[in-house]
């Protein structure tokens, strides 16, 4: 899993899988979209206006807490 954050556009993306092939994007709201791979597996989640959802506040980097996971 990989999480990226772009402060210029205030967007975050959580990558669950990498793969080749097309994805199907389903918008859950105006700011949140889920990408599904060919076998309906979740490949990633896009979060726009991410500082609002990640409780960081504008201009601040979101803090990520890992539970039962190891950062590499």
pLDDT at 33: 97
Model confidence at 60, pLDDT cuts 50, 70, 90, reads low
* Domain boundaries along the sequence of the chain: 2-53
Residue 69 has pLDDT above 90, yes or no: no
Residue 67 has pLDDT above 90, yes or no: no
CB 32 within 8 A of CB 50: no
Q: Tell me the per-residue pLDDT of 1-30, one tens digit each, with 9 for 90 and over.
A: 888 888 899 899 999 987 777 889 999 999
Which residue has tokens 């199907």?
A: 24
**CB atoms inside a 10 Å sphere around CB 22:** 10
Q: Tell me the per-residue pLDDT of 33-58, one tens digit each, with 9 for 90 and over.
A: 999 998 889 999 999 998 887 765 66
């Amino acid at each position: 899993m990989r999480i990226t954050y772009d402060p210029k556009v205030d967007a975050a993306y959580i990558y669950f899988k990498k793969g080749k092939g097309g994805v199907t994007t389903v918008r859950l709201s105006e700011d949140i979209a889920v990408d599904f791979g060919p076998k309906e597996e979740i490949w990633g989640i896009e979060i726009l206006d991410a500082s609002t959802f990640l409780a960081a506040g504008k201009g601040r980097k979101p803090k990520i807490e890992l539970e039962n996971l190891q950062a590499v």
